[in-house]
Structure 1
């Protein structure tokens, strides 16, 4: 029987319910599908869907988040594809929508997260499990220890330097930690050395993804911002908006312990 659902782009998605052959194009949402117990239903994931690790071997790899292998997807004949506005490329999604039902998420703020989890739970016939995950995330964040309103600059890329600005989920996570993002522009602006020096953040966070920052990058930034505390951070905890959030508060609390 066909059921119709609305995704987070306000697009109606009609599927044969419940779906039996699901492809996930987003790592954090792939992990959510696993947490919802959809081991048998998920047939395809991207090469970046590293959680759960076993799925990289047991599921068919359909390409990257911005480079879909249409021939492989066609062989899998999915009855539901799950994507994300920011992480996937528009042209690829449009191509898939010509043949398959594609449910899209759009995550910027905290309420978007719960709307996505609930929405994916509904369309995969796992609504009760999704509500349990939402409740567990709220319970986990009740134990969060926040910073004392220090300023921060969060880097996601090198050459050019790129940072997380407003209207991003990373910015929302920084706000949850009571950190003040010194970037006032939207999305992911490039910054020159002079601008980085001018911002003078108390903290600089170097993310593990999408660019894998290492110790050598700390030295480069220390020359620009000698008074800043520069820290390598786990990007999954700041940017994955699915069931990974269950583990984020414990990580954030341990991060503060490490830098005090």
Structure 2
């Protein structure tokens, strides 16, 4: 787990965005229908009024008397959501690995997988946004913070785009930025629809996702977020015979003969020139066609606003012809 926290700091599991078809012809909406929809929308936005009580993924309820003025984020995905909501001034502490947006680098760092409890307490946050995947490495952290009077909200380790939307909505509600959260979600959905429309008629390609370099090459198997992203854009994950992240031998990669190799790490200089030099890789279709592409790991590994852009980057890497 720590290996991948250092590379991408979060992993994504399955997604599925299949819209149900309504076979009945839609009837014109009456004035009453429009008014009811408007009232429902207003009621949803009103849910962000304070004081409020919210429940996190652990089942714990947190009461907030007012919108938080001092916020700490313990994982980059939460940080990206908070900045996306326009909370730059309220953010007082972030994860050591936070690098997006650029303003995140200017914030106080409070740790990465293990956190500086004293520093967090000294910053006197109104709320700390933690992550389900992250608390496993610091099991006593929440107890220590709460004992010091710090409110900690743990977001779910999202397994789908829908769960990512829920996280964005929850953080938006807790910070008094629910309308902004809904705008982010709407934009993400529009981006996904646009990408899927562009690749709707492509000839499916076989893809190998490489998440770390030799001597321990890891890939994303069935059930991972990236695997489902490939499904969304009509690409075949050649490593789907395994599950979760798993180590794979070069001989297995050669045998799978992918049409495209996607590199989702950036810690190895000149990796795109090194992969073709591996023994036996000259027989792989992706190598023969120079179809080895590196994508920003954070755009496909962080459960935040840029995830839809990550889907687009994958699609462009695999089907460049569809985006000309």
From 71, 76, 92, the equivalent of 1:22 is 71
CA distance in 1, matches of 2:208, 2:252: 11
Which residue in the other structure is 1:62 paired with?
110
Taking a change above 3 Å as real, the CA distance of residues 231 and 68 of structure 1, as seen in their structure-2 partners, is same
Structure 2 unaligned residues grouped into runs of 5+? 1-49
Matched, 1:117 2:117: no
8 A contact 1:209–1:236 mirrored in 2: no
TM-score, reference length from structure 1: 0.86
- Residue 238 (structure 1) aligned to one of 296, 300, 312: 300
Q: Do structure 1's residue 127 and structure 2's residue 178 form an aligned pair?
A: yes
Q: Is the 8 A contact 2:207 2:260 kept in 1?
A: yes
Structure in which a larger fraction of residues adopt strand: 1
Cα contact 2:58–2:154 (8 A) shared by 1: no
| Structure 1 contact 154–206 (Cα < 8 Å) conserved | yes
Residues 1:93 and 1:104: Cα distance change in structure 2 (over 3 Å): farther
Structure 1 residue 30 displacement after superposition? 0.8
Higher relative contact order (CA 8 A, sep 6+): 2
Q: Alignment partner for residue 226 of structure 1, among 278, 281, 284?
A: 284
Runs of 4+ in 1 over 4 A off after TM superposition: 209-213
Rounded Cα–Cα distance in structure 2 between residues aligned with 1:176 and 1:240: 17
Instruction: Give the Cα–Cα distance (whole angstroms) in 2 for the partners of residues 222 and 243 of structure 1.
Output: 39
Structure 1 unaligned runs (5+)?
none
Q: Rg: which structure is higher? A: 2
Judge conservation of contact 2:257–2:284 (CA < 8 Å) in 1.
no
Does the 8 Å CA contact 1:182/1:201 hold for their aligned counterparts? yes
Residues 43 and 213 of structure 1: CA distance in aligned 2, closer, same or farther (over 3 Å):
farther
- Determine which of 39, 46, 53 is the counterpart of 2:88: 39
Compared with structure 1, are the counterparts of its residues 215 and 82 closer, same or farther at alpha carbon in structure 2 (3 Å cutoff)? same
Matched, 1:11 2:51: no
Shift of 1:234: 2.0
Q: 1:170 and 1:97, CA in 2 relative to 1: closer, same or farther beyond 3 A?
A: farther
Which of the residues 214, 222, 233 maps onto 1:166? 222
Q: What's the CA shift string for 1:167-214, capped at 9, x where partnerless?
A: 322223222222121223222101122222232222211113577772
CA RMSD of aligned residues (A): 2.7
Query: Could you report, residue by residue, the CA deviation over 1:234-259 in whole angstroms, capped at 9, with x for unpaired residues?
Result: 22232222111354465455433279
Please state whether the residue corresponding to 1:205 is helix, strand or coil.
strand
Residues in 2 aligned to 1:176 and 1:139: alpha-carbon distance in whole angstroms: 14
Shift in Å at residue 38 of structure 1? Answer: 0.9
The answer (yes or no) to whether the contact 1:15–1:79 under 8 Å persists in 2 is no
**Do the aligned residues in 2 keep the contact of 1:13 with 1:103 (CA within 8 Å)?**
no
Give CA-to-partner distance per residue, 1:204-241, whole Å, 9 cap, x none. 11113577772243224573352223222222232222
Looking at structure 2, the residues matched to 195 and 26 of structure 1 have their Cα atoms a distance apart, in angstroms, of 34
